[in-house]
Amino acid sequence: YKTNDYSILSNTKSLIIGCGPAGLRMAIELALHGNKNIECIDCRDIWSRKQIVAIWNITESDLKSFGIRDLLPKFTKNPHKKSIPITFLQHFLLR
């Protein structure tokens, strides 16, 4: 189902299960489309993920559009090293 009418989201309650990068990005997308009642839950009490993930080109442009270079000026300037710790990504998406 695809639509350009997101007005229905303003009166919708949304529950996102999982506060990893994908869950937090979904919360941002819902908020950008007018959803004001979003709840995210996760099984972890703290962010303890130590993994470092590779950044795809589309993810890189998405993060740049949200201003990641304000916090990390050297983000992806090295074309051979496109990676980021998941914990940093989670903190960035919540700001």
At 59-74, the pLDDT tens digits run 888 888 988 888 888 7
Range 17-24 average pLDDT:
89
The pTM of this model reads 0.70
* CA 63 vs CA 15, 44, 59: distances in Å: 23, 24, 6
Main-chain phi, psi angles of 38, to 5 degrees: -120, 130
